[in-house]
Structures are given as C-alpha cells and as structure tokens.
Chain A
Amino acid sequence: MKNFTYYQPTSLSGVLKVLDEAAGKAEILAGGTDLLDRMKEYISQPEKVVSLVGFSGPFKEISSIAGHPPTVTIGAGVKLVNIAESELLRPYPALTSAAAQIAGPQIRNMGTLGGSLCQRNRCWYFRDEHVQCLLKGGRRCFAHDGENQYHAIFTQGHPCVIVHPSTLAPPLMVLGATCDIRSHKAQRQIPIEQLFQAPVKDGQREHTLAPNELLVSVTIAPKIPPGATLRNASYEVKQKETSDWPIVQASVAYYTEAGGQVAKGVRIALGHVAPTPLLSPAAAKVLEGQEVNEKTASAAAEAAVEGARPLSQNAYKVQQLKVAVRRAILLASGAKPYWEG
C-alpha cells in the first residue's frame, strides 16, 4: 500500500484548509467503510488521508441532527445507526427505514451520511485491481457486455453503467433535501439532486464536489402547506435480508391536505438503477392529484420504468423497480401491504 500522510485536524476549518492545500490528492476518512476497502484493494492510493474525526470525537458541525420538522439538518458525519434511530427524523420513514436496512450493524455503526452519499460505486469491474475500466483510465466498460445483473437499467448516454450505491440518496431527494457544501474560502447550497453525476473517466467521482470541498450537512425541508400531512416511504428489493445491497429501490413522498386523500407535491426517486439516483418526474406526474390506491400506484410505477434500457442480464430489474415504486407508494399511503402473505 502506498504510504500516505495522515491528517487529523482539530477543527472543521482545519480539514478544509488541508483539503485546499492537497489539490485533489487527498481522500476524506469518516467511517472508513468504503475508503479502507479501496486502499487495501489497491483501487485508491491517496497521498493524503484527512480524518473528519478530531481527537475529541467528530466535529460538532457535522455530527448532529438538529431542527424542527419539517426542517431538519443532518450532519454529514452522523452515523447511519443514528439516522435510523433518530426521534427527530421519525416523520421521515422513507429515510429512517432506508438507513436501518443498509448492510449490517457493523457498517451502520461506522458508516456516515456523508459517506453514504459520497462513496464510490460497487461495480465489480471497478473494484477489481486488475481490470482497467473506464473509471480507471481504461478504454471500455466491461459491464456493458459482461456480468451486468446488478448494473444500471437506465443506461442511455452512459458509457459507464454503474449504479449509484447510496441508499440514502433517493429518500433525501424526495424529501427535498439540500446540501451544505463548504471549502476553505466558500460555502454553497445545492439541491441534493445536483450532488450526483455519472462518471465517465478516470478522476471523476460519482459526486460533483470539487476536490477542496466537503459536504457538511444535509437539510430536509419538504415543501408542504400548513395543515397538510406528509406521507413518505422507501421500498427496497434485496435478495438477502442481511448485509446486502438493494437490487432496486424506490422512495416516494407526497402530502395530503386535511380531510383529503389526494396526493399532492408528489416526488418519486429511484435508487440502484442508474449511475446516479434518479428523480422520476414522469411517475410523480401520474400520481399527482390522484387518490392513492393499487391502480394509481401501478400507473405511476409503469411511468417510472418508461425509457428503461436494461443490459443483457438485468431486465428483471425493470420488473422489480416497477414493484418497488408501487409498493413504496402504497406504504406511504398507509395501505395494508398486499404483499405480506
């Protein structure tokens, strides 16, 4: 393993300063569940590693969940287990249930929100030291004609067909989250959809942060009128119930007004099906203004998979995605799950 310089600044501003000076040669260490794997497997060999955990624990700017629903800010250093179990986040089962199902307890006790959103993809070609894929300076994407059962089904225009690995991104997208991003001298806010990009070559990440920038926190602020009820849920299809990645994931959020049953402000997001987490305006539009039932949920699900272009081995994911969208919508509505025997 290449020797690296380890930085453990005592403040967040210290971290930002190191990142600024590192000029792209640093990796950020939070829970380490992704970075350490990549380093040990010779996928990433950074010159500098910057810890987000000070000697007295994680910096307070990134380690708390604060606010008053509907507006809640989650620090990027908050552990997955604490998102899953947060009282403040209870109105957002789309997010908490997704966090509760990530990997296993060991990962949830170490992994963080920032890590979930900024981790690198899990494509098995990318993760193989001896395969030079597009993202490692190679000329081809091996998944296109290779083993692609877990790869993207929305592939149009993507030379690299990874799926984005974050299970927290889709729920945050439907909950109208924004990201607080800081660098040594600047600070900016972006809607979370703009945090992601589809990488196509070496040096590009699955996120849009500049090398000197740090994701500091994410703020949930779903737009709902006073008196309305927010409804939200996520649904994942996982082969195993323990320590597995979702094959597909859908998150949905909408509100109903007092006494009404009609879905408004519908947002639907799809996970693990494309190089970025995807908002599906088409599916949202179908449900918008409709009463939620199996029929309308199915119609929205059909719209969600429109335009899917699966690869040689993953057409089954299209079917599963449809089911995930339908079930997420029905879960959000509070209907009795028809799929529980």
Chain B
Amino acid sequence: MAEGWPKKRRLLGTKIRRIDGPDKSTGRAKYSYDINRPGMLHGAILRCPHAHAKITRLDTSAAKKVPGFQALAMVLPPKDWLVVKADEARKTLELKSVPSKKKTDKAEQRTVTVGPGVTILRGNKPVTLADLKADDLVQVEVEQDAVGRELFYAGDEILAVAADTEEHAQDALRAIQIEYQVLEHVVDPAEVLAKPGLHTTPLPNLSPGKEFTKGDPAAGFKAAEAVVEATYGVGVISHQCLETHGLVAEWDAEGGLTVWASTQATVATAAALAGRFGVPPGKVKCITHYMGGGFGSKFGPDVQGVLAADLARRTGQAVKIMLDRHEEVIAAGNRPSAYGKVKIGGKKDGTITAYAIDCYGTPGYTGGNTVNLNFLPYVYQDAIENFTRLHTVAFTNAGAARAMRAPGHPQNCILTEFAIDDLAAKLGIDPVIIRRKNLPPNNPKANKIDWAGRRNDIYNEQIDIALKLSGWKDKWHPPGQGKAGVIKHGIGMALHTWGGNAAGGTTPNECFVVIAKDGSVIAESSTQDLGTAQRTVTAIVVAEVLGLQPTDIIVKIGESTFGFSTGSGGSTTCPTQAPAALLAAQQARNDLFKKVAAKLGADPKNFAIDVGKVVDTKTQREWSWKEFCAKLGMDEAKGKGEWNLAISNEPGNENISSGQVGGVQTAEVLVDTETGLIRLQHIVAVQDCGLVVNKLACESQVAGGVIMGINYALFEENILDKTTGRQVNPDMEFYKLGGLKDMPKITVHMQDMPERGVIGIGEPPTISTAAAIGNAVFNALGVRVPILPLTPKRVLDALAKGGQ
C-alpha cells in the first residue's frame, strides 16, 4: 500500500512559479523550432493547390537544378523489395516482393529502369546499382508512381525537397513541373447533405447517421409546458499552435535517429519513426525539452516528420521541417464543426421533459469519428428521461480533423446549453433553475469521494460559487430586458464535465529520482511539458517529499530514452506523472534513510524529513540535507515510481489519482446593437480538479482554457472558398485570435479536493466558456445568435431577423 500524499502540505496546493519561467522568458529555453544542427538542411513540402485532383504529370528535373537542392522524397513510402538482379549495363533493377505471412499474398515482380526520379535505399542509405546483389532488401522509390495519385484537399502532401536554405527549398518546389486533372470538390458540409450521392473524399462524403434514443421523446414533448425548436452550431477551427508542427531529424553513423520534435508524445513519436524506418526503437531518440502548444494535434511525427527523417537518411545531413503558418492551419489538424436542429421541451419547475437533435458536422476529408456527439444532451444526460439524437458525418475536401482540447465536448456543450437558455426564456424562468433541476444525480453505488458518488453535490456547490462570484443575482435579467440604450448588457452560464480514465494506459508511466552525495536531486522522465508546467509539477512533488524547494530539483524530462511515458492526451499527464514522481521520491528517500542508517548505526525508521534537514526522531539529532546526503559516501539513493490505471485501482491507492471533473462558467458581456460588436466584461470559471499540486499553474490552465473558449466564441473560424476549395484565412490575420485588450477579467475558482488525488485539468476549462458567452449575448439581446463565432455580421443579422 502506498504511503500516499503527505497529510500536511507544505508546497502542494500553493502558488509556485514555474521553475523554467526565466529560461522561457529570456529565450534560453530551446524549442524544437530553435534547433539548428551543423550542416542542417531545410525541407519543404509540395502540396496540392486544388481541393480534389489527380496528378497527371510530374517532372522534378528542374527542381534538382535549383542551387542548393539536396534531395527529394515522395509522400507515399517506397515499398520493400528483394533484389533479383541489378544490371549496371542496362541500368535496370529486377525486383520481387518480400514474402509475408499473409494468406492472400501474391508474389509480385517489377523491373525498374534506374535513372533520374528513381531512388534505391538499403538500410536507410541511398545505394547505386553497383552496390546491390541478389536478395538484398531494398526500398525503391519511383517518382512517376505518383502519377495517377488522387489528392483530397488543397494542401494534400505530394513530396518534399531538402535544400541548403529555406528559400532554395521553396524555389525547388516551385520549379517542379506538375499537372493535375482537377476533380469535383465540396467544402461545405451542408452541400454534402443536399447531394447524398457525392464521392469526392476517400469514403463517400455522406456517412450514414447514427441514432440513439432514450425513453420516449414524443411523450416527453407532449408533457412539456413549452417547446423550443432552433438550429445552433459552431464552425471548424484550427489548433493554431504557436510553435508549428515539425521536427529536426539527424541520423548517426550507427544508423540511429535523433529527432527534436514539437510533440505531445516523445515515446510514441520515437516508436513511430522506429517502425517507419525499420530501426530498433532503442536507436531512435525523440527530444522535446520545450514545446509550444499541441492541444491534441501532436501525437506523432506526422507526414512532415516522416519526410524530414526520410530526407535526412538520403542526404546524411540533419533536415528540419517545421510547418509555416499557412501549412499549420490547413494541414495540421482542426476541430470538426457541428450544426444541429434542436428541439427541447420543459416545465416551469425546470424539468427538461425531452431533448431531440439532428446534427451534422465535417471532419474534413477523412477521420470522421472525431465529429461524433455521443455526449448529447451534454452534462444533463443522466437526468433527462427522454432524448434522441441523430448524427451525420459529412466529409469535405478540407484538411483532416484531429483531437482538440476536450474533443467533442465544446460542440456538445453549445448544442445543449444554448437550448436550455432558449427554453428558460420561453418558460419565463431563470435558466439556472433548469440547470439545477437536471443535474446528474449522485450514484449511490459509487465511492463517496469519487465524482460519480458526489457529482450532484459538486455541481450545486459550483453553481453557488459561480452565482456569487459573478454577481448573478443583481446582474441577471430576463433576456433582452436589461437597461435601455444601444449597448446591451447580458450574463450567461454553462456547465461542463470531463474525464474518465485519467491514470493512463497499460504500460505504467515512470519517474526516476536520484539523490547524490552532494545533496543534489535529479528527477527524470520522458514525459513532456506542453506548456502545462509539468516540469514544475514534478519538481514540487519531489521537493515536498524531500523537504527541499522546487528549484532545488533538477528535472530532466522530454527525452524518449528517460523511461516510459505516455502521450500527453486526455488530461492524463499530471495524474500519471505526479503520482510516479511521488512514489519515486518516497522510494529514494527510503533508500537514502536505509543507506545512511547503516553508516550511522541508526534505525532508518527513526529518520524524518523536515524542511532542509533530516531528524532522528529518537535521538533528536539533526543534519542539514547536505550533511545527511554526504553520508552516502560513494553510493547514491534511488527511487523509481510507476503509475497507471491498474496501479491506481489497487487498494489503498484511491486517494492518489482519479478522474472526472465538472465545472461551471459564467460570462458577462456588452453588445453594441448598432455595430454588432461584443465586448466581454467578466468570466467566472469554477473548476474542481481533486488535489491541487500547483495552484498558480492550475489557475493558469483554467485561464488559458477560458481564453481559448473566448476565441472560438467570438473570433475563430476556418473559412473555405467554395469555388477554389481553398481556405482564405490560413493565417493569423483573418483567422482572428484575440489579443490582451480583447480579454476580460477572468476569475478562477479552484475547488481543492485533496481526498480525490490528482486529476488532470488541461481540457475541461475550455469547454463551457463559449456556451456561456453565447448565452450571455442571448441574455443581452433577447435574440439568439445561433452560430459561433459570434461575428458582428452574425449579431447584426440575428438582430435584423429578431426585430421582425
């Protein structure tokens, strides 16, 4: 049984500044984007300019004459072959397929005429015909094989080049002669619904709807005292990571690969590259010391990382490919849209008698599952007796979606919470009454300290806090009935929920702590700090156990070789890494006590840590930390911590980490009814997260989530042109992101519940902000602006319609 979190918290739960803050603010911290290796080349990717096309001609010869050109690699990987015969005189290479275990495998043969546009690789090195003998395992890339390839969006990758400078690489791309057969495209999901037979994407554009019904919605609507029908929605947005996707790849003389990658998963990225290039995983190292944001979009090398490593193996030089802003927006993932026809019925006492939604959205050209809305109706699902939902995926010729901070939740939240306020207006009641009435009940069978066992109580307490901090009682008024004047004031609320398995997967996350005889302490893990302050979290936990300060701990993270860690997704990093660090530090401390006790002839059980010192509780003798550690002599003290779901479920471990949180947010807005502009006044975010490790970082996470919510509520949207199929705003100019002046006062209230252990909160705080803002605008105007972002155009359009 684990010792658990210290009963008395000295550092935990307090506000502690990031230990790497000075490094980041002075530029000493090197991000992957900052890495430049000796002799490094720059890669650039050729992308399809059309939304849907086939390659009809490809001639790369002019590109290869551009000054500084070094190598070219195709996106579709070369196949493995066995050499039958390499004929130098005829310049031909006879190949046969590699036998596999597949039952259906047919032996294939191919003869390739070797010349420009053909590359032969053996063991990740380019070779010539003269180097080859029969039965050599080779990869043969024939550039002309790309002719006929179908491309599915404006931005689809075709090939990459490497050159000595970025400019030369760009010039080489533009020297490539390529022609396309332009095919029919569609970028608007509504058009997909209107034309069911479309097939412009890898799978047919329209994916059959998935339906789910609970109870008897028809009866529920019949029992309602008011029913509202409306359409709500939110467009596609991009992750807009400040550090774009990409990496620097460098092969060593022993055939090993090192990459400096901007990734949320050092271990998975290294493993992916090892698999791709047939290298033992132990020979691939992924380094991510600092990272400029991922938000769910950076879990592997991606095509640009694979291409950089491919170009590096061909040239024998390091190659860097970091996407530019345009590429980042169109090709590095996005959040699917969701538009829903909603019908909601309820009673004056707040009961929602039925909820029905028919919705659709687009995840781009493939990867459709990301758009699913299984949480509908959101938050209140367990209390609402009758509901039905139908969801349709509409593939479009646009970049593919990826997980984005709380996948699915923000869309679900909007499609539920908007309807609640509209229903409240029709019933003539404060929407808080509906929220309270339909909160999910406590599960009597669940553990009382867990979310499920007390979620109703937590939500009610959170609503109380939010009402108080926002001044709701004095500020709320029936929709559209605030003070007269062109500037209308409004206040709105929304709820969110998050999480399940927060303690990671099958292989436990590891953390190692080593105490040296000089008293220095190293904490090491391959885990990565996405900007969430994970480095500081590890330092705080270890320092708490050892009676030191966080800045005393040397935290080495962000290298895939530092023990196992899982990707930073699903808000799992803190709830896996903090326990691993806790166990490692406790074990290292025990090891220290044991080794020093032997030297002093003392009983290790009598040693206790105090701040900066160790005390023998029997003799009352004290040593400073350094004095005590010096007694290690030539030894060192070590500990290893491991944590995952299975370990967290072991008896006695239930207070160390857990999952599932709720949150309540309110927004207060001013709307200029003449210009359609919305100015935010105040956001209140109430959030539970179990045991707070670092209150400052926790509050920063929540504020960051709120800011992200504000941005997709008011500003952000991928705008695609129907004629060209191209995104018109792949930038930060017309893809709008708020600045400091656009941000309101943000009040964060953390509910510290140490008995629940550590829970990750990277995702939850961004979920309900936009729905709260949308509801505040409705409260101000008395008119629903149904689609996010709430642009001035949409506000004015809604006002014009509402006035009729």
* Interface residues, chain A, with chain B CB atoms under 8 Å away: 1-2, 42, 104, 122, 124-125, 128, 130-131, 142, 145-147, 149-150, 237, 239-245, 247, 313-314, 316, 319-320, 323-324, 338-341
Interface size bucket, B side? Answer: 35 or more
Asked if B675 contacts A237 (CB within 8 A), the reply is yes
* Contact yes or no, B724 A142, CB < 8 A: yes
- Write the nearest CB–CB distance from B549 to chain A, whole angstroms: 37
CB < 8 Å neighbour of A128 from B677, B714, B726: B726
> Chain B's interface: helix, strand, loop or mixed, by majority?
loop
CA distance A12 to B49 in the complex (A): 42
Q: Which residues in window 674-688 of B have CB below 8 A to A?
A: 674-677
The one of B719, B729, B792 that contacts A239, using a Cβ cutoff of 8 Å? B792
Can you name the residue of chain B whose Cβ is closest to the Cβ of A128? B726
The smallest C-beta distance from B511 to any residue of chain A, in angstroms, reads 40
Query: In the complex, what distance in Å separates the CA atom of A323 from the CA atom of B154?
Result: 39
Chain A contacts for B280, CB-based, 8 A: none
Q: By the criterion CB–CB under 8 Å, are A241 and B739 in contact?
A: yes
Q: How far is the CB of A223 from chain B (nearest CB, A)?
A: 32
Check A316 against B796 for contact (C-beta < 8 Å): yes
Cβ of A111 to closest chain B Cβ, rounded Å = 14
How far apart sit A125 and B727, CA to CA, in the bound complex (Å)? 10
A128 touches B728 (CB 8 A): yes
Q: Which residue of B170, B674, B715 contacts A240 across the interface (Cβ within 8 Å)?
A: B715
Chain A residue nearest to B672 in the complex (CB): A339
B623 on interface, CB distance cutoff 8 Å = no
Does B803 touch A at the CB level, under 8 Å?
no
Q: Are B726 and A242 in contact (CB under 8 A)?
A: no
Question: Which residues of A lie under 8 Å from residue B49 when comparing CB positions?
Answer: 130
* Contact across chains for A131 and B726 when beta carbons are under 8 A apart: yes
Q: Is B605 an interface residue (CB 8 A)?
A: no
Does B127 sit at the interface, judged by CB under 8 A? no
Counting chain A CB atoms within 10 Å of each CB, the highest count among B485, B489, B674, B722 belongs to B674
Looking at the assembled complex, report how far the CB atom of A232 sits from the nearest CB atom of chain B, in whole angstroms. Answer: 21
Residues of B within 8 A of A237 (CB): 675, 677, 792
Q: Is B446 an interface residue (CB 8 A)?
A: no
List the 4 closest pairs (A to B, CB-CB), nearest first.
A242-B739, A241-B741, A341-B487, A124-B728
CB <8 Å contact, A242 and B722: no
Q: Are A244 and B486 neighbours in the complex by a CB distance under 8 Å?
A: no
Which one of A1, A131, A316 contacts B793 once the chains associate, using CB atoms below 8 Å? A316
Whether A239 pairs with B741 at a CB distance below 8 angstroms is no
> A271 to B791, alpha carbons, bound, how many Å?
20
| Residues of chain A lying within 8 A (CB to CB) of residue B726 | 128, 130-131
Contact B721 A1 (CB under 8 A): no
The answer on a CB contact under 8 Å between A142 and B796 is no
Pairwise interchain contact B487-A1, C-beta atoms closer than 8 A: no
CB-based contact A124/B734 at 8 Å: yes
Q: Is B135 an interface residue (CB 8 A)?
A: no
- A130-B726, A237-B792 known; 19 other A-B pairs, CB under 8 Å? A42-B174, A125-B724, A128-B726, A130-B49, A146-B728, A147-B721, A149-B793, A237-B677, A239-B736, A239-B792, A242-B738, A242-B740, A242-B741, A242-B742, A244-B736, A320-B676, A323-B675, A339-B486, A339-B672
Q: List residues of chain B with CB within 8 A of the CB of A125.
A: 721, 724, 728
Docked-complex contact A239 and B728, CB < 8 angstroms: no
**Listed A/B pairs (21) with beta-carbon separation below 8 Å:** A1-B171, A42-B170, A122-B733, A125-B721, A128-B726, A130-B49, A130-B724, A145-B723, A146-B721, A146-B724, A239-B792, A240-B739, A242-B741, A245-B733, A313-B793, A316-B792, A319-B676, A323-B675, A324-B675, A339-B486, A339-B487
- A1 and B791 CA atoms in complex are apart in Å by 36
Asked if B167 CB lies within 8 Å of chain A CBs, one says yes
* Minimal beta-carbon separation of A121 from chain B (angstroms): 13
- A145 → B minimal CB distance (Å): 7
